[in-house]
Amino acid sequence: MTKHPQSLKLVNCSVDMRAGAHLAARNAGRNSSMQLTRAADYALRAMIHLASLPAAERALLPQMARAIGAPESFLSKVLQSLCRAGLAASHRGQSGGFEILPAGRTATVAAVILSIEGPIALNVCIDPELSCSRKSFCPAHPVWVAAQRAMLAVLNAKTIAGLAAIPPAKRCGLSGQ
């Protein structure tokens, strides 16, 4: 199975078994290959952090980087993407910093990921921009479609404002809520 670097996209329903064994050996001890990039994770953390601040309060990059556990230089690039997407704003000067915009407060987890990663697709065969020649006879295709729907339902069910409203002590173990 081939993997796009640091993305949620997995490709090709058919896999050469030797290539699969090679990848399994190479990835031994690592997390699942179906995971968010660090950029998407930091974007989500940053948005929740900004949404948890009092109204009209801005966060400076160094303090936000420490608060969410992200390297400043990388977080700066992530925040630029969030600003371009209209979810956050950057202000210069003595009262500068980053603030969440109304669209950022109402954004879903999926929207934040989309602003950083682009379209979310578990497998290339369900990417609407591509055509899978195996779709009509591949027994795995309906599984990918169902998994994609379930994942997007979860990611679209939570907003940034909703996540920021959860008290910090109760933020762990959100599964099932």
DSSP 20-72: HHHHHHHTTTSPPSS---HHHHHHHHHHHHHHHSPTT--B-HHHHHHHHT--H
pLDDT of residue 23: 38
Can you give the pLDDT at residue 171?
A: 66
pLDDT at 86 (0 to 100): 97
* Ranges in the chain, pLDDT < 50: 1-32, 175-177
* pTM for the model: 0.75
State the CB neighbour count (10 A cutoff) for residue 137. Answer: 7
| CA 69 remoteness from chain centre | 16
Predicted pLDDT of residue 136 = 81
The pLDDT score that the predictor gives to residue 134 is: 83
Q: What is the percentage of the chain residues whose pLDDT exceeds 90? A: 54
pLDDT of residue 165: 94
Task: Quote the pLDDT of residue 32.
Answer: 43
Average pLDDT, the chain: 80
What is the pLDDT, as a whole number, of residue 109?
A: 97
CA dist 122 and 107 (Å) reads 21
How many Å apart are CA 100 and CA 49, to the nearest integer? Answer: 9
Classified by CATH at the fold level, domain 1-17+37-167 comes out as Arc Repressor Mutant, subunit A (1.10.10)
For residue 172, the model assigns a pLDDT of: 65
Q: What pLDDT, on the 0 to 100 scale, is given for residue 24?
A: 42
Q: What does the pLDDT read at residue 175?
A: 46
